[in-house]
A and B are shown apart, each in its own frame.
Chain A
Amino acid sequence: MPDRFAGRLTALEMFGNYAYTGIWLLIGVGFVLVTFWFASLIRPQRPNPTKLENYECGEMPLSASYLQFNVKYYIFALIFVIFDVEVVFLFPWAVVYNSLGLFALIEMLVFLLILIFGLAYAWKKGALQWV
């Protein structure tokens, strides 16, 4: 079993470009954590109960901070995900558009118009209304 996977992976080339992203991820995390660690060496640390209270404009906090949010947030997130998927389809189309000509234009117009219709529907139904 391991041979099968090993054979496939060693056949792959070095994923050179993205090795940088991976290593930079380590650098970034390391830099921030080292900064925090260094700060912890030189800063004072004298907590007391009042200091560790949550900030609520100087008053004693009244309840747990977990509010229930308006369902509006969720609707906007849903609409966002749908349009995000659409954007993902537009990227490869945009790259080849110029070499494909009229056919690609019509295809995309159909694609866009259907979604613009969706946007108009959401608008009409008041889903884009914040308050």
Chain B
Amino acid sequence: MELGVFYILAAVIVVSGLLVVTLKNIFHSALMLILCLFGVAGIYILLHADFLAAVQVLLYVGGVTILMIFAIMVTHQLTGKKIKHYNEQPVPAGLIILSLLILLIVSITRTAFEVADKAEPMPTVAVIGRALMTDYVLPFEVVSVVLLVALIGAIVIARRD
């Protein structure tokens, strides 16, 4: 049963992911990206990471992709256009992609993946909260600084006009 759901979700993710890069219309690509990220949230559910799944939907569907759509809308004359899927340098690009592919295949086949034990279906939120407040306090505070830097950077860059 889980296996069936996993394959359905994987198919959704792969197909929508392919459509993101092949569709001619940039708005359609953005919508497909939303579908793709929603599928990833489904995978998190399969792994019993319900909090992570909600965060995935909240941040990626409700935040990042909306930001992307806004970016499309504020860009001059981008929405109606068909995007080109090729450029002037197919040979170097092809070589780079080929070498990346070989690298990925080699590293995937050579790695001995650790198979985790069955994840306990339990409320993960409290565990995450406790971990953030004890073992990961410093990263947690650094996150706020990173967010601050992102905020200031965004304002500085966007308001240069």
Contact = CB atoms under 8 A, between A and B. Distances in A.
A68 to B, nearest CB: 5
A79 B148 CA distance: 10
A48 B160 CA distance: 49
Interface stretch (A11-19, A27-35, A37-45, A54-62): A11-19
A115 B151 CA distance: 9
Of A14, A15, A64, A91, most buried by chain B (CB within 10 Å of CB) is A15
A74 B129 contact: no
Contacts of B152: 118, 121
Chief secondary structure at chain A's binding surface = helix
Interface in B5-49: 5-6, 42, 45-48
A71 to B, nearest CB: 5
A13 B118 contact: yes
B100 interface: no
A81 B71 CA distance: 13
Interface in B144-159: 144-145, 147-148, 150-152, 154-155, 158-159
Given A88-B58, A107-B137, A115-B144, A11 B155 contact: no
B118 A12 contact: yes
Interface string B111-147: 0010111110100011011101100010011011101
Contact of A96 (B71, B133, B147, B161): B133
Of B51, B125, B129, most buried by chain A (CB within 10 Å of CB) is B129
Contacts of A74: 67, 70-71, 74, 158
Given A4-B113, A18-B45, A64-B80, A85 B73 contact: no
12 contacts: A15-B45, A22-B5, A69-B73, A71-B74, A77-B66, A82-B154, A86-B144, A92-B51, A92-B128, A115-B144, A125-B155, A127-B155
Interface of B: 1-3, 5-6, 42, 45-48, 50-51, 53, 55, 58-59, 62-64, 66-67, 70-71, 73-77, 79-80, 113, 115-119, 121, 125-126, 128-130, 132-133, 137, 140-141, 143-145, 147-148, 150-152, 154-155, 158-159, 161
Interface of A: 4-15, 17-18, 22, 64, 66, 68-71, 73-75, 77-82, 84-86, 88-89, 91-97, 100, 103-104, 107, 110-111, 114-115, 117-118, 121-122, 125-127
Given A64-B80, A121-B151, 15 more contacts: A9-B3, A12-B48, A15-B48, A79-B151, A81-B64, A82-B147, A82-B150, A85-B143, A85-B147, A100-B133, A103-B133, A111-B140, A115-B151, A118-B151, A127-B159
